[in-house]
Amino acid sequence: MPHAGTPTAEIRRSTAVVVPGAGAPTELREVHVLPPGPGEVRVRIEAAGLCHTDLTARRDLSTFPLLLGHEGAGVVDAVGPGVSQVAVGERVMIGWKVPCMRCRRCMDGRPEHCEALQSTAEPRLLSLDGQPLTPMLRAGTFCRYAVVPAGGAVPLPDGVPFEVAALIGCAVATGVGAVLRAARVPAGASVAVFGCGGIGLSAVMGAVLARASLVVAVDLDPRKLALARELGATHTVDAGAADPVAEITRLTDTLGIDHAFEAVGLERTMTQALAVLGLAGEATMLGAAPRDLRLPLDARRLLGRQQVLRGCIYGALHPGVDLPRLAHWQRRGELPVERLISRRVTLEELPALVDGGVGDALRVVAVLA
Ligand SMILES: [Zn+2]
Ligand SMILES: [Zn+2]
């Protein structure tokens, strides 16, 4: 049924990657994607990244049936009433954390701390039996079409491939944003990054962009450490072979590190990120920790050494402002996001990867046919 005034806005049909319930295996389902509502945009997804958060969504999110996927890029297929930021046919990347620009913090100039994640007013996705689906993080990119708030469809500069743009919208935003936006690492600072997955390696690239003098990457996988070095890490520590705290203490001549970034979400690595800090050092936590994780904290050391412990979601950035900036850096060769992609798959291959894990793959991208 065509939507009045917008000839392209009929219902679209697609295969989608759905978690039916908390304990159920992921499956492929045929879905109907409705036209975008007021302030919304429907995007024809061309590439979608498989993020660690997709693998833990069943554990961390509670609304089912759940359509997975929150990293994506594609072409605007239809715009809802009142949308003027983007037009049909425009290439865009998905930003999943869109500030409302109306709450106290947004009006106070801190959209990165927006109190209200923008959401679709009513379900725009229906399974063929008429059941509404909840798109993960208001994105739901493991589907040919995604309906997102207009501010979450950010124009993509020419020359940046969709598969690269998909990663910029989450992993790269989170890692680079943490360094440049949240921690504001100054030139010459020393940096340690715990965990060299897509987010950790993005933090390494961010530290290089910030002109940090020392960039230490820590992981258990020698291949990820080798890539960290290629991306600009000055030193690497194989945590399976050496104690990262002792190694980093030695590398900093016992001064400790200025900025530590934790991109794993485990007690062990979080504790290490705090333990390597020097005077006035700052630890920024990026890893998605399980709900019940409680950290032992040396409160007296934190006070006496005037250290900072920070949690950071989505790189403390504003998608409309920062995602195009990241894309320009990629195009200029200063942010080699494409190096993070280790495997390309089809949409149909995703359920097995979500349930069975990605093995030693760094970053898997689904290219939609
Ligand atoms: Zn993600
Ligand atoms: Zn807000």
Consecutive 10-residue runs of the chain (369 residues): their mean pLDDT? 53 93 90 92 97 83 87 97 96 93 92 76 70 88 95 96 96 97 98 97 98 98 97 98 98 97 97 98 94 92 97 94 97 97 96 90 92
Distance 3 CA to ligand 1 centre (A): 32
pLDDT score for 240: 97
Q: Work out the angle at residue 160's Cα, subtended by the Cα atoms of residues 7 and 31, and round it to the nearest 5 degrees.
A: 40
Q: Is residue 4 part of a domain?
A: no
Residues 206 and 140 in one domain: no
Distance 296 CA to ligand 1 centre (A): 27
pLDDT score for 117: 67
Cβ neighbors of 253 (< 8 A, separation 6 or more) are none
Which ligand is located closest to the Cα atom of residue 104? 2
Distance 316 CA to ligand 2 centre (A): 13
Distance 113 CA to ligand 2 centre (A): 7
pLDDT score for 138: 87
pLDDT score for 129: 74
Distance 363 CA to ligand 2 centre (A): 31
pLDDT score for 120: 52
Both tokens of residue 226? 């080798």
Distance 300 CA to ligand 1 centre (A): 35
Which ligand is located closest to the Cα atom of residue 365? 1
Q: Is residue 23 part of a domain?
A: yes
Residues 302 and 323 in one domain: no
pLDDT score for 358: 87
Point out the domain boundary residue: 263, 285, 311: 311
pLDDT score for 53: 87
Residues 112 and 80 in one domain: yes
Residues 188 and 335 in one domain: no
Which ligand is located closest to the Cα atom of residue 149? 2
In the DSSP assignment, the letter for residue 21 is S
The pTM assigned to this predicted structure is 0.93
Distance 320 CA to ligand 1 centre (A): 17
How far, in Å, CA of 212 to CA of 180, rounded? 11
pLDDT score for 211: 98
- DSSP per residue, 152-213: GEEEPPTT--HHHHHHIIIIIHHHHHIIIIIS-PPTT-EEEEE--SHHHHHHHHHHHHTT-S
Distance 156 CA to ligand 2 centre (A): 24
Which ligand is located closest to the Cα atom of residue 49? 1
Residues 280 and 329 in one domain: no
Residues 160 and 191 in one domain: no
Q: Is residue 18 part of a domain?
A: yes
Residues 244 and 296 in one domain: yes
Strand-pair partners of 148: 41
Q: Is residue 299 part of a domain?
A: yes
Residues 232 and 342 in one domain: no
Residues 60 and 100 in one domain: yes
How far, in Å, CA of 222 to CA of 211, rounded? 24
Q: What is the CATH number of the domain that holds 215?
A: 3.40.50.720
Point out the domain boundary residue: 269, 290, 311: 311
pLDDT score for 27: 94
Distance 117 CA to ligand 2 centre (A): 7
Q: Is residue 5 part of a domain?
A: no
Residues 133 and 222 in one domain: no
Q: Is residue 1 part of a domain?
A: no
Which ligand is located closest to the Cα atom of residue 102? 2
Number of compact structural domains in the chain: 2
Distance 276 CA to ligand 1 centre (A): 27
Query: Domain limits at 159?
Result: 12-169+316-367
Point out the domain boundary residue: 264, 279, 311: 311
Q: What is the CATH number of the domain that holds 110?
A: 3.90.180.10
Q: Is residue 179 part of a domain?
A: no
Residues 152 and 222 in one domain: no
Which ligand is located closest to the Cα atom of residue 112? 2
Which ligand is located closest to the Cα atom of residue 55? 1
Check if the beta carbon of residue 219 is closer than 8 Å to that of residue 225. yes
Which ligand is located closest to the Cα atom of residue 99? 2
Q: Is residue 174 part of a domain?
A: no
Distance 314 CA to ligand 2 centre (A): 15
Check if the beta carbon of residue 235 is closer than 8 Å to that of residue 216. yes
Residues 198 and 148 in one domain: no
- Bridge-based pairing of strands 308-311 and 153-155 is unpaired
